[in-house]
Amino acid sequence: MVFERWRRVGAPRSRRDPAYRGVRTGDARSTVLFAIVAVVLVALIVTLYVATRDKMDEGGTSTRPVDDATAAPASSRSVVVLGDAFSSGAEGSDAPTWPDLVAEATGWSVETYADPAARFAPRGDGVSVADLAEEAADSVDAAEVDTVVVAAGRLDVGKGPKGRTARAASDALQTVRTDFPAASIVLLSNFASGEPTPKGIELAATLESVAVGQGAAYVDATGFLTEDDIDTDGLVPTEEGQERLAQEIQGSLDSL
Q: Per-residue pLDDT averaged across 93-120, rounded? A: 96
Confidence (pLDDT) at 51? 57
**What CA–CA distances, in Å, run from 148 to 12, 32, 183, 196, 207?**
92, 73, 6, 25, 16
Q: What is the pLDDT of residue 38?
A: 61
Task: Quickly count: other Cβ atoms within 10 Å of residue 249's Cβ.
Answer: 23
Lowest mean pLDDT among 54-63, 71-80, 183-192, 213-222: 54-63
**Strand pairing category for 217-219 and 109-114:** unpaired
Please check the confidence at residue 256 and state whether its pLDDT lies above 90. no
Q: At 233, is the secondary structure helix, strand, or coil?
A: coil
Helical packing angle, 98-106 and 239-255, nearest 10°: 50
Q: Reduced to 3 states, what is the DSSP secondary structure of residue 11? A: coil
Q: Rounded to whole angstroms, what are the CA distances from 230 to 12, 23, 244, 249? A: 101, 96, 11, 17
- Domain 78-255 in CATH: superfamily? SGNH hydrolase (3.40.50.1110)
- Say whether pLDDT at 12 is over 90: no
pTM strictly above 0.75: no
CATH 3.40.50.1110 maps onto the chain at 78-255
**Alpha carbon distance 248, 236 (integer Å):** 17
